[in-house]
Structure 1
Amino acid sequence: MSSMSAASVGPLRGIEGTEKKPLKPCCACPETKKVRDVCIIEKGEESCTDLIEAHKDCMRALGFKI
């Protein structure tokens, strides 16, 4: 019996309609984006550098060139 989960196998291939569309920058890293945006609105960009960098790191991890 295998201990692999369905998530670890990867996307299905060869089945029509299961291919993923490329991720758009506006939709990537919603968790870090929301926290960053709220911080910038409430405190100003200068006070949120750590959250800005965390969002950039997340975007880079997904393959975006920032």
Structure 2
Amino acid sequence: MALQVEHDLHKRRFGRNLGVGLILVGFIAIIFGLTVVKVKNTGFVEGYDHSVRYELDPEIRQNLNEGGASD
């Protein structure tokens, strides 16, 4: 004889909880995967500091290297 009888309600609750848990783990895996892909594809990222960074604009960098004036 079982010490504690499991009611049908508990079985259904466990099934729902397991489903919600699996969906949550899947969602976390998708977000983690997207984050890893984004970080790998982005490369070196500089913070935005409200100043012009000439190394990001090839046209300005070329004009500066040639000694010309930039617009």
**Larger Cα-atom Rg:** 2
TM-score normalised by L of structure 1 = 0.24
Bigger helix share = 2
TM-score for the superposition, normalised by structure 2: 0.23
